[in-house]
Structures are given as C-alpha cells and as structure tokens.
Amino acid sequence: MRYFFIGLLTLLLIAIGALFLYRPLTEQPPIKVGILHSLTGTMAESEKPVVDATLLAIEQINADGGVLGRKIEPILMDGESDPLVFQYKANELINKQVSVIFGCWTSASRKAVLPVVERENHLLFYPVQYEGLEKSPNIIYTGAAPNQQIIPATRWCFDHLGKKFFLVGSDYIFPRTANKFIREVLSLIGGQVLGEEYLPLGSEDVDWILDRIEKSKPDVILNTINGSSNLALFKEMKKRNLTTPTMSLSVGETEAQSFDLPAGSYSCWNYFQSIDSKKNHTFVNDFKKRYGENQVVSDPMEAAYIGVYLWKKAVSLAGNDSIDLVQLTIKGQTFDAPEGMVTVDLDNNHLWKTVRIGQLQSDGQYQIEWSSRQPIPPNPYPLGWESDFGGR
C-alpha cells in the first residue's frame, strides 16, 4: 500500500510539472492600469459612477480577449476629493508600474496630477469637461474643451433664455476660468452679468447667494458649482420658489438622481443618456445590466468609458503598452461612441465632440433641446487666450 501511494504521488507531481511545461507560450501577465477618483468627500457622488463606467469598459475588453491577448488589471485608488491626495496617489500608481491612469474630475485634481505625469512621462486620461488653457502630451482629454461646452452654452442661453446673467460657481480654477470666458462672450454679443459669486467645494451656505440673485432678478443663472453643493443650491431654490432658468455645466443625470433635482433646469454636455441611437442603447443597457436597472449614465461616465477603448486601440496599434508609443498611436484614433463618432485631435489630444443642450425632465432624464450638426474640433485656447495664458 505504501508503494501505491508513493507511485500515485509521483504521477501527480509529473502531471503538475507537465501543466507548467506545456502552458501556452503566448500566456502573458496582465496589463496594470490605474483608476484614480474620489470615492469619499464632496466629489464622491459624481466620481463613483465614473469609476463604474471605467470598470465596465475594462470588463468588456477582458471578456473579449483583453489587449494583445493580455487581461487588464485595474488598481483603484481614492483621491478623497483633495488635490494633494490625488497627486500623492498618482505617484503611488506610477510606482506600482501601471501603464496608464484613468481619473480626476475637478481641474484642481487634474492640475495636481499633471506635473506628476509629465515628470514621469506617464499618461492620464481625463474624462470631464474643463476650462481649457492647457494641452499636454501626457494627458488625453476626453471631456469637452471650452468651445465644446462653455461657449455654446452661453450663446444658447443668450439666444433662448435672456440677456441678463448671474454666475455662481465652486471656488476653484474651472468655475473661475469658465466665468472669465462667459463674461468675454457676453461682452461680445451684448449680454450683461449682474453678479458673480463662489462657494467653497462642499459648502451648503447658499442663502446669501440666492438673496443676491433674487435682488438682481437675472434672466439666467449660469451654474458652475460642482459636487454636493448643487443639492443645497437647488433645494433652497425650490424652497423659495425661485424659478429663474438655470444652465449647469457640471450637473448631469447622476447628480440629478443623487440630489433629486427639480425638473426644468438646463445642462450642456456632449452626451445625454436620452440619445436615441443603437450604440447608446447598447451602452445604457450594458451599464444597467452590470450595476442595476435604476442606475443612470452621464457625460463624464461615457467619456471615461470611451477613454478606455481609445487607449486599447492605441495599445493594439503600437503592439505593446509602451507609453512613448501609445502617445504617438493615440493621435487620430476614432471611436464610434455612445455620443457619436469621436476623434483624438492630432495637435492637442482633445476629442472632436458633438455639443448638446438638454432640459431636465421629471423622470431625471434630459430632453435634448439643441445639438451641433457635427462633431466640433476642440480648441482649448478659444477667443485668442493662448497668448495671454501661455500655450503648452
């Protein structure tokens, strides 16, 4: 009996050795990628769904065989709604040898990560509309440039809602720079700014701002508040029965659902869940199947989703995940996205995108009121501001 067990153990060891000896020669380790978003803090409600959309794209690509036969392994880190934490975590992800970072929401977090990826010659895919005045070979901007959101939103409001504006925003770089663009556009077309006020990120102290708005009686409130402060703003407007039309540049379906925002306000994005196309229906259904039927999708989520696919195309064309090669092969890449066809601009690493304006309905979805006829070429330095701010 002893010899029987010795023989059985020997055969088992031989079988295990054979498994290692005859493994497919093409088997490769996974490609590690970083996902860096706020999972806690004032920006968490906006950024968590972006993480979900990023992971959905990764799961789909892995189910389809991965990239160059390699699976994608996501490494998730929490930026904690703090730019300094974003900077620290970006360094940590690079030290973990990720091939790319997908992340950031606020311009403050992106500005904190930018010197890290430039110093290390790394790559960040940034999925949110922003104030422009930047182009880096180390960042792919999959959200809107100013001429694809801020400027057309201002012009549309002037043409359809009124000539007198009140500007409200969170107190950091995107709202303040966006409002400079808005002021310049309005001065060119004959609009008037009656007031301009800011809240610290996460602040709920909106009473004094609404007092000023009620006193000045604008035709339009142009809102660049980010994160949970929007809940306080719209809640107090509803309490006061303040029905002044509001155009928001950082409020979409996820914020409308999370904060129970009232119907009637406007937003300007490149993507709305209500887009009626086969590609978008598939995207929305896939997301709901993965995360739940009650979930919604928004512009930054879609921009994050397509960023993963654009990176995959660039890696496939390069033949490996080398950052130097991907920086070259990403240029000019196209993708048939849920929002429509997008293209990475050859010069500035932003996307050609269609512009849309929607009005929030009682079901939490946006009815599209206007859209550009075709994708708009990105211009991160509109209105001749490159000479003033120093182009990169």
pLDDT band at 152 (very low <50, low <70, confident <90, very high): very high
Q: What is the pLDDT of residues 125-148, one digit of tens each?
A: 999 999 999 999 999 999 999 999
Which amino acid makes up residue 388?
Answer: D
pLDDT number for residue 131: 94
Rounded-to-integer distance, Cα 44 and Cα 59, Å? 22
Rounded-to-integer distance, Cα 124 and Cα 320, Å? 17
Q: Which of 112, 189, 197 shows the shortest CA–CA distance to 158?
A: 189
pLDDT number for residue 255: 87
* pLDDT for 21 beyond 90: no
Q: Give the count of domains, the chain.
A: 2
Q: What is the mean pLDDT of the chain?
A: 91
Q: When comparing pLDDT for 17 and 156, which is higher?
A: 156
Looking up residue 126, the CATH number of its domain turns out to be 3.40.50.2300
Residue 174 inside a domain? The answer is: yes
Q: What is the pLDDT of residues 257-296, one digit of tens each?
A: 887 777 899 999 999 999 999 999 999 999 999 999 999 9
pLDDT number for residue 259: 75
Residue 214 CB: number of other CB atoms within 10 A? 14
pLDDT number for residue 25: 36
pLDDT band at 22 (very low <50, low <70, confident <90, very high): very low
Same domain (yes/no): 269, 220: yes
The token duo for 257 is 């659902």
Q: What is the pLDDT of residues 339-366, one digit of tens each?
A: 999 999 999 999 999 999 999 999 999 9
Same domain (yes/no): 207, 292: no
The token duo for 392 is 């990169």
* pLDDT for 14 beyond 90: no
Same domain (yes/no): 270, 164: yes
Residue 11 inside a domain? The answer is: no
Which amino acid makes up residue 315?
Answer: V
Residue 173 inside a domain? The answer is: yes
Q: Which residues have CB under 8 Å from 236's CB, separation 6+?
A: 206, 207, 210
The whole domain housing 216 covers: 148-274+382-389
The token duo for 143 is 């959200």
Rounded-to-integer distance, Cα 326 and Cα 309, Å? 13
pLDDT number for residue 209: 96
pLDDT number for residue 385: 57
Same domain (yes/no): 188, 267: yes
pLDDT number for residue 392: 27
Residue 361 inside a domain? The answer is: no
Q: What is the pLDDT of residues 53-66, one digit of tens each?
A: 999 999 999 999 99
Give the SS3 label for residue 143.
coil
Q: What is the pLDDT of residues 363-376, one digit of tens each?
A: 999 999 999 999 99
Rounded to 5°, angle at Cα 306 from 64 and 34: 80
Give this prediction's pTM. Answer: 0.89
User: C-alpha 116: how far from its chain's center?
Assistant: 19
Helix ranges (DSSP H) in 195-277: 207-216, 229-240, 253-259
